[in-house]
Amino acid sequence: MSKKVRVRFAPSPTGALHLGGVRTVLYNYLFAKHHGGEFILRIEDTDQSRYVPGAEQYIYDCLKWCGLEPDESPTHGGPYAPYRQSERKPMYLQYAQKLVDEGNAYYAFDTAEELEQMRNGHGQYDAKKRGSMRNSLSLSAEEVAALKEQGVPYVVRIKMPENETLYLEDMVRGELSFNTSLVDDKVLLKADGMPTYHLAVVVDDYLMKITHAFRGEEWLPSAPVHILLWKYLGWEQDMPLWAHLPLILKPDGNGKLSKRDGDRLGFPVFPLGWTDPKTNDYSAGYKEIGFLPQAFVNMLAVLGWNDGSEQEIFTLDELVQKFQIDRVHTTGAKFDFEKAKWFNTQWIMHTDVTVLAEMAVPFLKEKGVTANAEYLAKVITLIKDRCHLLTDVYTQGAFFFTTPETIDESAIKDKWNEVKQTFFKQWMEGFTALATWDVATLEQNFNDAVAAAGIKKGEVMLPLRVMLVGGKHGPGVFQIAELLGQEETVKRINNALVVL
Ligand code: GLU
């Protein structure tokens, strides 16, 4: 590749960024970084009727959480600023004008009612219909001038050719063809002078020197409009190479994964928590349910791509090294939440405990737990192989932070007797004299006490666990005792002996 690679993610801030959108970001980012290129974030906010407050900030927050920072964006700036299309409004008019002047676009004066009427007759605004509508092709030059003079609102529409075939070499799908008659004469410039997505995306990809454009496959039907605009504006040589990415599908493969599917099946479809400003409904994201951003990114990367090997766990650096756009699958990927959690489990397993400890702090705080970093790291060392989500640090390890209020007496009461009661009292006396408080010393001391009392170790191990943990779960019981410390261990055994 001779030109410097420049790719863009060009979201419209019309709601929370869905995980499919994040995957589009990711593939753009990986491709750019793989080729030593630049990743641009451009906010496509020209459809102001669909603008949702907070949606733009949400995009920045998600990209930051995922570690996919753009090189150029409305907040990072860059040589092609502004990167927010609404702020570029005056730039587009000249291109719309050129298209009209050269006969590739036209003015249309139709009212909303006239358009409605046409559509009710099952028509689309195209070569067949445009002659009977009110536009600069059907009206005389004088009529057009008069309408403009009177201030009648008008839009600019592309003049789609009739029954021509356009070809596109898609980097994922190979050669695609489109019949121009299937597409209507899209509006390019609205009555208020604001461009629509179709004009703005082409002008900006050109002006921002975008070399590759990757976007969701839902944009395929618009491709012929864009191909023609590149051609009509005389920029064909500079048209980016396209890739239309397959959808992320519902778990049963039946259509695109939606927020409703997530709500119904009990998993998030957003990276971060989002409050819908219209309904005030809050949806937790992957971050809030306890995903590591690395796991989230890894999971998305392989949802529709592989490197040709069996490898599934990749760091972002490895993905950058290995990513190839032509290895993106052509068919949609079914979303599997259990598999997503598997990625998180793997990442928890392989992430340094001090890093995990830092990540776990907000989750513990939510439960009213504050723990010192060193202690927390030790807890996580013991329980990390039982954690699938960062929230599990609390569910699996709560007893390390607070003394259990009750213990599961039913687990031991049946077989409880005086001998055991006496054993625990004596053992406690024994271990208070210990100079060191570590797993090996404790276990040895316990074994000696068991031998001296003439009872079976198996009979007192479960009671000891229940006394310390409150239930039958948890890591090695002497590891628990070591970490709780002598004072807390004595306290818990004493509390239990009172109720047993
Ligand atoms: N603004 C479009 C969107 O909201 C971008 C499509 C493209 O990347 O061309 O997804």
Query: pLDDT tens digit string along 313-351?
Result: 999 999 999 999 999 999 999 999 999 999 999 999 999
Ligand 1 centroid to Cα of residue 12, in Å, is: 7
Ligand 1 centroid to Cα of residue 198, in Å, is: 9
Q: Which of 154, 222, 152 is CA-nearest to residue 186?
A: 222
Ligand 1 pocket residue status of 215, Cβ below 6 Å: yes
Ligand 1 centroid to Cα of residue 225, in Å, is: 14
Q: Name the active-site residue from 98, 209, 256, 259.
A: 259
- Residues contacting 472, CB < 8 A, separation 6+: 408, 411, 462, 465, 466
Tell the residue nearest (CA) to atom 3 of ligand 1. 11
Secondary structure of residue 398 in the 3-state scheme? helix
The band of 122, judged by pLDDT with boundaries at 50, 70 and 90, is confident
Tell me the C-alpha distance between 197 and 35, whole Å. Answer: 28
Ligand 1 pocket residue status of 479, Cβ below 6 Å: no
Ligand 1 centroid to Cα of residue 416, in Å, is: 68
Amino acid at position 324, single letter? Q
Tell me the C-alpha distance between 109 and 144, whole Å. Answer: 9
Instruction: Among 86, 201, 229, 244, say which to mutate for ligand 1: greatest number of ligand atoms within 8 Å of CB.
Output: 201
pLDDT at 139: 98
Instruction: Label residue 142 exposed, middle or buried (CB < 10 Å: 0-12, 13-18, 19+).
Output: exposed
Q: Which of 4, 362, 486 is CA-nearest to residue 210?
A: 4
Residues 252 and 336: beta-carbon distance below 8 Å: no
Tell the residue nearest (CA) to atom 5 of ligand 1. 10
Ligand 1 centroid to Cα of residue 222, in Å, is: 10
Closest-lying ligand 1 atom to the alpha carbon of residue 215: 8
Torsion of CA 47, 49, 54, 55, to 10 degrees: -40
Its sign, for the CA torsion 95, 101, 102, 107, is positive
Ligand 1 pocket residue status of 17, Cβ below 6 Å: no
Residues 188 and 105: beta-carbon distance below 8 Å: yes
Tell the residue nearest (CA) to atom 2 of ligand 1. 11
Encode pLDDT of 28-82 as tens digits: 999 999 999 999 999 999 998 999 999 999 999 999 999 999 999 999 999 999 9
Ligand 1 pocket residue status of 12, Cβ below 6 Å: yes
Q: What is the mean pLDDT of residues 472-486?
A: 97
pLDDT at 170: 98
Q: Which of 4, 89, 77 is CA-nearest to residue 44?
A: 89
Tell me the C-alpha distance between 198 and 156, whole Å. Answer: 12
Residue 1 has pLDDT above 80, yes or no: no
pLDDT at 355: 98
pLDDT at 123: 87
Secondary structure of residue 167 in the 3-state scheme? strand
Tell the residue nearest (CA) to atom 10 of ligand 1. 11
Ligand 1 centroid to Cα of residue 299, in Å, is: 23
Tell me the C-alpha distance between 253 and 331, whole Å. Answer: 11
% of the chain with per-residue pLDDT over 90: 97
- Residues contacting 273, CB < 8 A, separation 6+: 282, 283, 284, 285, 287, 288
Tell me the C-alpha distance between 434 and 445, whole Å. Answer: 9
Amino acid at position 292, single letter? L
Amino acid at position 452, single letter? A
* Mean pLDDT for the chain overall: 97
Closest-lying ligand 1 atom to the alpha carbon of residue 197: 1
Residue spans of alpha helices (H) in 108-175: 112-120, 141-149
User: 82: cis peptide before it, omega within 30°?
Assistant: yes
Ligand 1 pocket residue status of 47, Cβ below 6 Å: no
* Phi and psi at residue 457, to the nearest 5°: -60, -40
Q: Checking DSSP bridges between strand 155-158 and strand 105-108, what pairing results, if any?
A: antiparallel
Tell me the C-alpha distance between 115 and 120, whole Å. Answer: 9
Instruction: Label residue 251 exposed, middle or buried (CB < 10 Å: 0-12, 13-18, 19+).
Output: middle
Residue 259 is among the residues annotated as catalytic for this protein: yes
Ligand 1 pocket residue status of 219, Cβ below 6 Å: yes
pLDDT at 75: 97
